[in-house]
Amino acid sequence: MYCRKGFTVWFTGLSGAGKSTIAEELDRMLRERGVPNVEIMDGDVVRENLSKGLGFSKEDRDTNIKRIAFVCHLLTRNGVANIAAAISPYREIRDYARELIGDFVEVHVSTPLEVCIERDVKGLYKKALAGEIKEFTGVSDPYEPPLKPEVVCETHNETVQESASKIVEYLERAGYLTPVAQVVA
């Protein structure tokens, strides 16, 4: 059971922090609860399909995030539960997304850089640390953590299910999901 109001859960964090993994688990949990319309806007997928040709300069990154935010805005106002998983390193552009979308839940996937480097499944940190990738978030380009995210997930201290459950609990408290206890009663 859920509320029919659309919303966007916006994941932000370093590459390798676990944004996409938690997003997939959250998607599964929402569908299991009967939320019929859930969309995941994964940063890598968007870059390949909506933002092809953009680089990694601040301007290009901002353009990519604005595109994700615009699609989430359209879907949110039409009752869809959106899950946006993109590094989105700059506070100013995340604030822009929050204002545009309105029903916005910021989730900081707060994973230490050292853990992200250890995970480095794509080999990007290795290349960035060797100077082969310029403007890499957390290495040669800044990451500005959120000041007041609605939820903080620490993937180095909690399981994927624990992280996704924290988000579901927040969505219940915020009125986006009907608590399971109320549905059963």
- pLDDT 10s digits, 36-80: 899 999 887 887 777 677 777 888 888 989 999 999 999 999 999
User: Which strands form 81-85's sheet, in the order they lie side by side?
Assistant: 38-42, 81-85, 7-12, 104-109, 151-153
What confidence category does residue 2 fall into, taking pLDDT thresholds of 50, 70 and 90? low
| Rg value, the chain, Cα | 16
- Flag the least confident range among 108-112, 159-163, 179-183: 179-183
Q: Are 11 and 89 in contact (CB under 8 A)?
A: no
Annotation says 88 is catalytic: yes
Residue bearing the bigger pLDDT, 131 or 103? 103
If one counts every other C-beta atom within 10 angstroms of the C-beta of residue 165, the result is: 16
Average the pLDDT over each of 94-103, 123-132, 142-151 and give the range with the smallest value. 123-132
Taking the CA atoms of 78, 83, 3 and 31 in sequence, report the sign of the dihedral they define. positive
* pLDDT tens figures, 151-165: 999 999 999 999 999
Say what the pTM is. Answer: 0.91
Q: What is the average pLDDT score of the chain?
A: 90
What pLDDT sits at residue 128? 86
Cα–Cα dist 82/51, whole Å: 18
Please state, as a whole number, how many other Cβ atoms lie within 10 Å of the Cβ of residue 19.
28
pLDDT(4) > 70: no
| Catalytic site residue from 15, 20, 51, 88 | 88
Which residues contact residue 168 at a Cβ distance below 8 angstroms, ignoring those fewer than 6 apart?
Answer: 26, 29, 30, 33, 177
Check whether 182 has a pLDDT greater than 80: no
